Chain A
Amino acid sequence: MKPLHIVLLIIAGLGVAAVVSLYGNTTKYVSFPEADKMAVESPGKDFHVVCMLDKSKPMEYNAEKDANRLVFFAKDTLGNTKKVVYNHPKPQDMERSERVMLVGHSQGDYFQATEISMKCPSKYEDAPVK
């Protein structure tokens, strides 16, 4: 075999490995009940939940009590509501967000979020005309 062919073979193998490892580690977007189920099936893994802020329930952040604890309720795309705990300060303009993506896992009766990203209607799109 030529050196070039050996090299190409190894690299192709590594490429397949990299892609397989990538997709092997991805997760699906889940709902809250699915996240509850997953927490039992594969503990220690984080999942993505796309949801909206449930504004009918209070959002709790008291920096003087604990600067790293935000508690709020979120409604996933199927309409399930769940309590969410996030151990960071309240993200700026959380109340204005129209959609929230949570990354985390179910823990007891709440969802422990490790990452929150928000889509705010105001930031890049048009603000109402003054």
Chain B
Amino acid sequence: MESVKFLNESLWIGNLGNVMVVMALIAALTSGWFYFQSANKKTEEFRNLGRKIFYIQAFSVVSIFVLLFSIIFLHKYEYYYAWRHSSNSLPVYYMISCFWEGQEGSFLLWMFWNAVLGIIVAKTAGEWESPVMAIICLAQVALATMLIGLKLNDSGTHIGSNPFDLLRIQKPEILAGIPMASGKAMYLKMITDGNGLNPLLQNYWMVIHPPTLFLGFASTLVPFAYSVAGLWMRKDRQWVNHAMVWSLVGVGILGGGIIMGGFWAYESLTFGGYWAWDPVENASLMPWLIMASGAHMLLITRSTGRHLFAAHLLIQLSFWLVLYATFLTRSGILGETSVHSFTDLKLSGQLLLFLFLFLLISLLVVIAKQKARNIVIGAFFGWITLLIFMAFVFNPETQKSLDGFLHYTNIVLFFSLMGAILLLLYKRTVKEGEDEKWTSRELWMFVGSMFLILSLVQVFSATSIPVFNKVFSGNTAVPKADAYNRVQIWLAMPVMLLMGIGQWFRYRETPKKDLFRILLRNGIISLVLGAILVFAFEIKEFKYILFLFLGVVLVTGNIMYFGRQKNMPWLGYGASTAHTGFGILLIGVLVSSVNQNVLTGTREGIDMANEMDRNGQVNTAGIKFNRENRILYLGEPVVLNGYEAMYRGTKRGEGVDSISNYFNILFVKRDDNGGIKDSFTLWPKTQKNPNMGLINEPSTRHYIYKDVFTHVNHESSMDRDEPFAGFKNDTISRGEKFLSNSGKIMLRLDSVSKHRFKSYLVLKFSVTAKNLTDSATLHPLYLRDTISNQEESVTDQSDEIGVLLKMGGVFTDQKNGTFQTLVAERSPRKKYVVLKAIVFPWINLVWAGTIIMVLGFAMAVVYRLKQLRSMKSP
């Protein structure tokens, strides 16, 4: 093949980017090595060197970040990443979202947060700096290899995926379509715009949700590193204080990030809700559940010295689960059995390897003898070398037959690693102590944490079904949301109860009389308040009533606790605040999902659900509809369940958004006398996106106590059009009436106005078209370029009348204003939308609860940090 010198490419950005990726990898390796040496030999020089090199590492990561952003910002479509994920018309804040649409960008984001957290750890960890930073560096090495994009052989085996890959290399068909070498050199002239960002991601929550979530993911690394360091340095207790602060940071941020994602789904997706037990959602929930559980275990260990084993195990599990979640959502394994789409970068092997690598680290620190450690390390690296060797040596065919062998060695490896860790960790950390008392806080806190773990076990087993299918060649279908809800509601109840009353217990032992008295008071208040709320929220089923009652126990118990501890500053009530918020969130989840009211719902065969109460009011709360959409014709009001709705017209979006249609839907609520009690307009949207297909976006009216959520699922212009027929020519003058071919439509030329637009002379016509039932005004145009004398007609049509009109041709008689017309017709069609509208009662409790919860975590973090500082400086 002849070599072509490609023009106009800014290759220096990518080259610099690649240098930075390599630098990030090497810096992470060296920094980690120095920190490792310093941890083992306790030398300060090595530690200082390690720290300096870590700063270089952080600098390289930030540089990659800036460079990748600049190829998007400057529309450098010679780079695949920019071409694939962005376009010219994107505003700057959505360019940020482009960044994490691709996997490479999200790995980079993760690395960025690790670097930031690493710097904070280096500054605050004190004596723990070296071992903790060594682990953080190892994570940075792993992530950097995800970006390196090294091809191992011709069959496509590669290490990492490089964000600076060129478009012409990723998509050689672009060049193949150009015949001449000189043309090939100029290929960039043809690539004027990128593919664009998925419109569903063009939402402000998508700008801040992924960074928050990834910060949450990244923050599981630090407690993990402390746990490993604690075992490695053989200091059982001191790591706990640090790990606790970091795990609280993690739970708070991850929790906030998860709910932000829910809010995004609620605002831009049309499944009608904020949580669907989607594997991607579950993947972020799992680490959260276990971190929340682990944070409480650390609290127990810190206060009583108990449960060191569980504390280590849960904290380490939360990081393993983050790795597992990454594997689950990014390896394409869910794509095998679920229809959820994920871009598969063929990195599953590498992701699996990282999971194994960190399991190995967890194992090494619990092995007591150096000799045994060396054997394990030797075996592990021997195995990796073998894998890489095989990728080089064997052709794809041989590799395929080796897959089965690798499959089983992976399973054996995984279970033996897990088994060994559990066994050795147990031996290292469990000491016989005195028995816990039934009235001790630590016992009930432990029980509550275990229920969180039960919740995790269920989510894990259900979400991992595609993995089990693959590992054990199964054929089990992925469970639906109902399978989760049915179990999770019962698992949540004991957690709520314990969160509500746990603070009345003291560590080790509580005087029974005091305990009994306060529990009684808490119970009575909750009963009264709960009974009121059951009626106010109209909860009917027993299990929901129980759930609501326990939610009230949780909220009141924690509110009652405020101010009860003498000498405790207000910051110390972080736990109570977070628990209160969590309770409000759960009550919101219950009420908004149990009492959803589908306004557009009907039952089969019946136009309207006609369940009336004694006052003749339609009450549809809680009724299961089997038909959830209603058709709304333009201008015709329709009575829904509790509202009246009317489709009043369509508006085009502006500028970039001109491919969107916004539908004006008027909602009216009437009082008993038929007077208008409330009315508002919603603008649900559909978009015919050239790259992504049809997309619909909901529109919501927010009240304090409810949301009215609506979206358009179909509309008349989506129907296939009948072609126009019966073309008829006429010559008409102003004010004259004329008929269509069939005689069914009468038209009248009302007026003509003359305009000038640049070099064009424009005639704008106003024509009334009438059939038996309707009438419409059409505005066809006639244009003549006064320079070239070229003529052009712009037609106009009305679907309601079924008429197409073209005006122009020649001005036959300027003086009398006579014009040529062309009329065509088809059967009239009414404009309509197919609408779904749902009322979510009290959904604001979900968001309010989240805010209070995150606030509580922030208070707890600050409080514990202060404690930590005062312990250091006696």
Q: Which residues of A contact B (CB under 8 A)?
A: 2-4, 7-8, 11, 14-15, 18-19, 21-23, 25-29, 46-48, 61, 63-64, 67-68, 87-90, 92-93, 96, 99-101, 103, 115, 117-120, 122-127, 129-130
Residue of A nearest to B633 (CB): A64
One of B104-112, B151-159, B611-619, B621-629 at the interface: B621-629
- Are A26 and B339 closer than 8 Å at their CB atoms? no
Smallest CB–CB gap between B688 and chain A, Å? 10
B814 at the interface (CB under 8 A from A): no
Known: A21-B487, A115-B480. A7 touches B446 (CB 8 A): yes
CA separation between A90 and B694, bound complex, in Å? Answer: 12
- Are A11 and B695 closer than 8 Å at their CB atoms? no
- Are B462 and A22 closer than 8 Å at their CB atoms? yes
Residue of B nearest to A116 (CB): B339
Q: Which of B335-378 contact A (CB under 8 A)?
A: 335, 337-343
CA separation between A122 and B691, bound complex, in Å? Answer: 7
- Are B713 and A25 closer than 8 Å at their CB atoms? no
Q: How many B residues touch A, CB cutoff 8 Å?
A: 62
In the complex, which of the residues A3, A46, A87, A93 has the most CB atoms of chain B within 10 Å of its own CB atom? A3
- Are B480 and A126 closer than 8 Å at their CB atoms? no
B-side contacts of A18, CB under 8 Å: 454, 457-458, 487, 491
- Are B437 and A67 closer than 8 Å at their CB atoms? no
Q: Which of B485-503 contact A (CB under 8 A)?
A: 487, 491
Residue of B84, B477, B627 near A29 (CB, 8 A) is B477
Selected A-B contacts with CB under 8 Å, 18 pairs: A4-B436, A7-B446, A11-B447, A15-B457, A19-B458, A22-B461, A23-B476, A26-B465, A28-B477, A46-B480, A67-B629, A68-B627, A68-B628, A68-B629, A89-B834, A92-B694, A103-B480, A124-B342
Known: A68-B628, A119-B339. A96 touches B491 (CB 8 A): no
Residue of A8, A27, A92, A96 near B696 (CB, 8 A) is A92
B41 at the interface (CB under 8 A from A): no
CA separation between A93 and B341, bound complex, in Å? Answer: 15
- Are B834 and A124 closer than 8 Å at their CB atoms? no
B-side contacts of A28, CB under 8 Å: 475-477
CA separation between A101 and B343, bound complex, in Å? Answer: 19
Residue of B nearest to A2 (CB): B435
- Are A125 and B627 closer than 8 Å at their CB atoms? no
- Are A125 and B447 closer than 8 Å at their CB atoms? no
- Are A4 and B443 closer than 8 Å at their CB atoms? yes
Residue of B446, B695, B714 near A63 (CB, 8 A) is B714
**Chain B interface main SS type:** mixed
CA separation between A23 and B696, bound complex, in Å? Answer: 35
- Are A122 and B457 closer than 8 Å at their CB atoms? no
CA separation between A46 and B436, bound complex, in Å? Answer: 47
Smallest CB–CB gap between B484 and chain A, Å? 9
A-side contacts of B475, CB under 8 Å: 28-29
Q: Which of B691-711 contact A (CB under 8 A)?
A: 691-696
- Are B695 and A7 closer than 8 Å at their CB atoms? no
Smallest CB–CB gap between B798 and chain A, Å? 18
CA separation between A68 and B603, bound complex, in Å? Answer: 11
- Are A7 and B458 closer than 8 Å at their CB atoms? no
Smallest CB–CB gap between B814 and chain A, Å? 45
Q: Which residues of B contact A (CB under 8 A)?
A: 84, 171, 173-174, 177, 193, 195, 198, 335, 337-343, 435-438, 443, 446-447, 450-451, 453-454, 457-458, 461-462, 465, 475-480, 483, 487, 491, 602, 604, 626-631, 691-696, 713-714, 716, 719, 830, 832, 834
B-side contacts of A67, CB under 8 Å: 627, 629-631, 714, 834
- Are B457 and A7 closer than 8 Å at their CB atoms? no
A-side contacts of B694, CB under 8 Å: 92-93
Residue of B nearest to A20 (CB): B461
Smallest CB–CB gap between A37 and chain B, Å? 16
- Are A87 and B627 closer than 8 Å at their CB atoms? yes
Smallest CB–CB gap between B776 and chain A, Å? 19
Known: A28-B476, A63-B834, A89-B714. A123 touches B171 (CB 8 A): no
A-side contacts of B446, CB under 8 Å: 4, 7
Residue of B341, B437, B695 near A124 (CB, 8 A) is B341
CA separation between A26 and B829, bound complex, in Å? Answer: 46
Known: A96-B693, A119-B339. A23 touches B438 (CB 8 A): no
Residue of B173, B483, B692 near A123 (CB, 8 A) is B692
A-side contacts of B627, CB under 8 Å: 67-68, 87
- Are B480 and A125 closer than 8 Å at their CB atoms? no
A-side contacts of B450, CB under 8 Å: 7-8, 11
Q: A18-B487, A129-B177 are in contact. List 19 more A-B contacts (CB 8 A).
A: A2-B435, A2-B436, A4-B435, A7-B446, A7-B447, A15-B453, A25-B483, A29-B476, A63-B631, A63-B719, A63-B834, A87-B604, A87-B626, A89-B714, A92-B693, A101-B339, A122-B692, A123-B198, A129-B173
CA separation between A68 and B339, bound complex, in Å? Answer: 23
B-side contacts of A130, CB under 8 Å: 193
- Are A92 and B695 closer than 8 Å at their CB atoms? yes
Residue of B nearest to A101 (CB): B339
- Are A3 and B443 closer than 8 Å at their CB atoms? yes
Smallest CB–CB gap between B133 and chain A, Å? 36
A-B contact count (CB 8 A): 138
CA separation between A61 and B716, bound complex, in Å? Answer: 12
In the complex, which of the residues B339, B450, B491, B627 has the most CB atoms of chain A within 10 Å of its own CB atom? B339
- Are B476 and A7 closer than 8 Å at their CB atoms? no
CA separation between A84 and B595, bound complex, in Å? Answer: 31
CA separation between A63 and B647, bound complex, in Å? Answer: 15
B-side contacts of A61, CB under 8 Å: 714
Smallest CB–CB gap between A15 and chain B, Å? 5
Smallest CB–CB gap between B403 and chain A, Å? 22
- Are B483 and A88 closer than 8 Å at their CB atoms? no
Residue of A nearest to B694 (CB): A92
Residue of B nearest to A95 (CB): B693
- Are B84 and A89 closer than 8 Å at their CB atoms? no
CA separation between A24 and B483, bound complex, in Å? Answer: 11
B-side contacts of A22, CB under 8 Å: 458, 461-462, 479, 483, 487
Smallest CB–CB gap between A89 and chain B, Å? 4
The 7 A-B pairs at the shortest CB distance, nearest first, are namely A48-B477, A93-B693, A89-B713, A92-B694, A68-B627, A117-B339, A124-B341
CA separation between A118 and B454, bound complex, in Å? Answer: 32
CA separation between A93 and B604, bound complex, in Å? Answer: 26
Smallest CB–CB gap between B853 and chain A, Å? 25
CA separation between A127 and B194, bound complex, in Å? Answer: 11
- Are B454 and A14 closer than 8 Å at their CB atoms? yes
- Are A3 and B343 closer than 8 Å at their CB atoms? no
In the complex, which of the residues B195, B477, B602 has the most CB atoms of chain A within 10 Å of its own CB atom? B477
A-side contacts of B830, CB under 8 Å: 64
Residue of B173, B457, B477 near A26 (CB, 8 A) is B477
Residue of B171, B695, B714 near A90 (CB, 8 A) is B714
CA separation between A112 and B282, bound complex, in Å? Answer: 28
CA separation between A117 and B491, bound complex, in Å? Answer: 29
Residue of A nearest to B481 (CB): A115
CA separation between A96 and B465, bound complex, in Å? Answer: 28
Residue of B nearest to A97 (CB): B339
In the complex, which of the residues B174, B447, B716 has the most CB atoms of chain A within 10 Å of its own CB atom? B447
Smallest CB–CB gap between B511 and chain A, Å? 18
Residue of B nearest to A11 (CB): B450
A-side contacts of B626, CB under 8 Å: 87
Residue of A2, A11, A103, A127 near B691 (CB, 8 A) is A127
- Are B457 and A19 closer than 8 Å at their CB atoms? yes
CA separation between A19 and B457, bound complex, in Å? Answer: 8
